[in-house]
Chains A and B, each alone.
Chain A
Amino acid sequence: MSMRWCSSTQTKNLERWTLSWRTASKVLRNALLRTGFTWHFSKQSFLLSILMAHRLLVRRFWTLSSKDLRCLPVSSSFSTSLQSSRVPVLSRSRSRSLALASLRQAASFNIQDHDDFDVRVIKSELPVLVDFHAQWCGPCKILGPRLEKAVAKQNGKVTMAKVDIDDHTDLAIEYGVSAVPTVIAIRGGDVIDHFVGIKDDDELESFVSKIIGK
């Protein structure tokens, strides 16, 4: 599944959007406000906003793992949210992915922002391992894939959220991250366990098993 595929589908949808610009504008406004963009009322800037929103959406969809996308009817989920003007697009797609996460046992995903964290981690029905990492951190690059493997082994009983601490400093600060990698386990919104630093495959496996209560 390619990025191009993803965006072309959405472009089509966007064309449909512009037909009913009242409805669309409402949807879009909600979406934009949630993501911190300011809303402009001129039509010109409306189009610009659409482009921006489009880019955002592409990014958001893209960050679902390819597994998600494979069985997720992206276009239909998208048009569903378009038809209902009340529900902000982004949160709809998010709750969609949440539902899917539990259904499809999604393995791992990148956290986009605080709201995303709220939906996919705090409100998750499954326990979630949150991997706080940084680009400048060598050990993180070793731990990340190992953890992903350990999570995948559990066949969907646990998911993994990846948080880049430089992009989402507030989250990391909030969760008391001092050094990376830090992995915290969250169930029902509560931190139930954590570790800092690197671990080998066996250690990770037993950490993950403990989390899902094996």
Chain B
Amino acid sequence: MPPIENDTGKNDLKSQIQLLIDSNQVMVFSKSYCPYCVKVKDLFKELKLEFNAMELDLIEDGTNYQDMLLEMTGQKSVPNVFINKTHVGGCDNTLQAHKDGSLQQLLCAETEAYDYDLIVIGGGSGGLACSKEAAALGKKAMVLDYVVPTPKGTTWGLGGTCVNVGCIPKKLMHQTAMLGTAIQDARKFGWEIDEKGEASEQQRPRRSRRGDIGPVCRVKHNWDTMKDAVSNYIGSLNWGYRVALRDKNVNYVNAYAEFIEPHKVKATNKRGKETFYTAEKFIIATGERPRYLGIPGDKEFCITSDDLFSLPHCPGKTLVIGASYVALECGGFLAGLGLDVTVMVRSILLRGFDQEMANRAGEHMEEHGVKFLRKYVPIKVEELEAGSPGRLKVTAKSTESDEVIEGEYNTVLIAVGRDACTDKIGLDKTGVKVNPKTGKVPVSDEEQTNVPHIYAVGDILEGKWELTPVAIQAGRLLARRLYGGGKLKCDYINVPTTVFTPLEYGCCGLSEDRAIELYGQENLEVFHSLFWPLEFTVPNRDNNKCYAKIICNKLDNDRVIGFHYLGPNAGEVTQGFGTAMKCGATKEQLDNTIGIHPTCAEIFTTLEVTKSSGGEITASGC
């Protein structure tokens, strides 16, 4: 058919095309042989969307259509896609619109308006950060947060794990224990402490490193005072979060959220009242909760870290089950308060961390009176006597033989890991994929799940760090990308972290074990040294227990790919080196850095001995 020259013919054609666009929710102008058109049509088929495709190569006046489309849309090529009367564009535009969710938005545009631009499920580190950022960028945002009480009935306020039952109470209780050590040290520095007080029954005298009972100063620790002080501080933080949400215009609802449709959640409050909310986009940030053992008596008689920090009584003689960082940190500070602590370990300490460092941290705990029962798993827990605390009998069996052992404790703390809270939030109603083994949610490098309008941040992510600052960073950057034109993605590489065992362990980058796996031993150089912090010298303790190690990639200019520090103030020491590693620090640059004397961190500017040389690493003088 010849090109149309007259206006009437043109107008006819135009209204024909317009009719097609207006009467089809999804209209594709296509050519049957074009691979890009096939791609787009396949996408719509996959999304189970009805669409009308007009194959321009199969109709008579196809070229006229194409010319008119050029006039109408500025686009001549096919596919030429319209959704709900809006011109989307070609193949790339359509795929991109699907990826960033605007396709879904167009599809829903006519049928419904959502209550919110964004609903965030979970008001913890990640959820609060991204909801506040989204609201600051002018979006209508809501946060739904609800704490399901523990089997013991413990519950808490707004802010998630870190504030209520994680980082904050943990570090404060660790600090409590450190102060106990400081009181012991203080005598050596000339402080005279009134020794009339008596240690409480539950507290054992502190042992010196060699195990003999040294000159002990009988200071008592009062659990209630500590617990109340910690709870009060947390109370003020909860309030601070609440106020911040108000000030940032985030609508906060204290209710348990569950998807019932891809764009709709049911929120159930304390009184069981159900309310429904819809949103264009969702962010799941529901975090994790402690795992139980699934053995008789675990939920009835044992506690987890969720209960420990607000326990109404001193836990007394405690069995910690597990060797996670939570287990070692809790066991560590309880021992530091003077309690009799045993840690039951199935296999290794601090799975995923550098094993040499983990073992050194564990050895230090052992030397300071924490007992380790290695290669045992508990099989049942029975109550011998109720009380605050009561008495429990724990039966455990060896992982290597038929041996069965029993022990009596006041408190049993389970710290064998945490499970993502993704199983009871109606994800099946949305099509969001979850790793069936771990419950974790796989996401793209932009925290997008397989369902384009649903994102996830924080502890529930598969293969990502479970740390508060990571959740915050990911949440904030996600909101900026979604609503502020941001481009920056969360960088999950070289994240510094610290385990607050009695001797703290800070690290950044790869563990030695992992580095060897990735690069091969021959391509690595490991520099290391023991050291004796000046503050330990006068009290004469822990000589040659602190340890520094860096792993360098010989193939890349001796770039530091692993940083490990076991010693006081590990968090403070590691933070700055984290920045250095982000900047790609090399061994040479560390050597060229002038140390601050006298400090512990300065050791990293003078590391000389390589592990491969087998050279002497015990500390000498100044």
What residues make up the interface of A, taking CB atoms closer than 8 Å to B? 36, 134-138, 165-166, 169, 173, 177-180
Contacts and interface: CB of A to CB of B under 8 A. Distances in A.
29 contacts: A36-B271, A134-B235, A134-B236, A134-B239, A135-B232, A135-B235, A136-B231, A136-B233, A136-B234, A136-B235, A136-B236, A137-B232, A137-B235, A137-B236, A138-B232, A165-B239, A166-B157, A166-B235, A166-B238, A166-B239, A169-B242, A173-B242, A173-B243, A173-B246, A177-B243, A178-B243, A178-B247, A179-B243, A180-B239
Contacts of A166: 157, 235, 238-239
B330 to A, nearest CB: 23
A20 B323 CA distance: 64
B170 to A, nearest CB: 18
A180 B243 CA distance: 11
B570 to A, nearest CB: 30
**Which of A136, A138, A177 has the most B CB atoms < 10 Å from its CB?**
A136
A165 B239 CA distance: 8
A126 B247 CA distance: 31
A50 B527 CA distance: 75
Give me the 9 closest cross-chain CB pairs, A-B, nearest first: A136-B235, A136-B232, A178-B243, A173-B246, A136-B236, A134-B235, A169-B242, A165-B239, A134-B239
A135 B228 CA distance: 10
Interface string B222-262: 00000000011111101100110011000000000000000
A179 B238 CA distance: 12
Contacts of A135: 232, 235
Given A36-B271, A134-B235, A169-B242, 8 more contacts: A136-B233, A136-B234, A136-B236, A166-B157, A166-B235, A166-B239, A178-B243, A178-B247
Contacts of B231: 136
B155 to A, nearest CB: 13
Nearest to A37: B271
A78 B450 CA distance: 62
A36 B269 CA distance: 13
A34 to B, nearest CB: 14
Contacts of B246: 173
Interface centre among A134, A135, A169 (most CB of B within 10 A): A169
Contacts of A165: 239
Nearest to B235: A136
Nearest to B234: A136
Contacts of B235: 134-137, 166
Contacts of B239: 134, 165-166, 180
Contacts of B234: 136
Nearest to A180: B239
Contacts of B242: 169, 173
Most-contacted residue by chain A among B236, B239, B243, B246 (CB, 10 A): B239
A180 B157 CA distance: 17
Contacts of A134: 235-236, 239
B74 to A, nearest CB: 50
B67 to A, nearest CB: 61
B163 to A, nearest CB: 13
A169 B246 CA distance: 11
A138 B231 CA distance: 12
Contacts of B271: 36
A179 B231 CA distance: 17
Contacts of A178: 243, 247
Contacts of A169: 242
A177 B232 CA distance: 18
A142 B110 CA distance: 59
A54 B247 CA distance: 39
Contacts of B238: 166
Nearest to B254: A169
A17 B355 CA distance: 72
A26 B592 CA distance: 84
A53 B575 CA distance: 57
Nearest to B233: A136
A177 B243 CA distance: 8
Contacts of B243: 173, 177-179
B226 to A, nearest CB: 14
Contacts of A136: 231-236
A143 to B, nearest CB: 15
A105 B392 CA distance: 56
B236 to A, nearest CB: 6
A146 B234 CA distance: 26
A180 B235 CA distance: 11
Nearest to B157: A166
A88 B237 CA distance: 39
A136 B232 CA distance: 4
A154 to B, nearest CB: 30
Contacts of A179: 243
A180 to B, nearest CB: 7
A114 B271 CA distance: 17
A165 B234 CA distance: 14
A136 B231 CA distance: 7
B530 to A, nearest CB: 43
A209 to B, nearest CB: 30
A45 to B, nearest CB: 16
Contacts of A180: 239
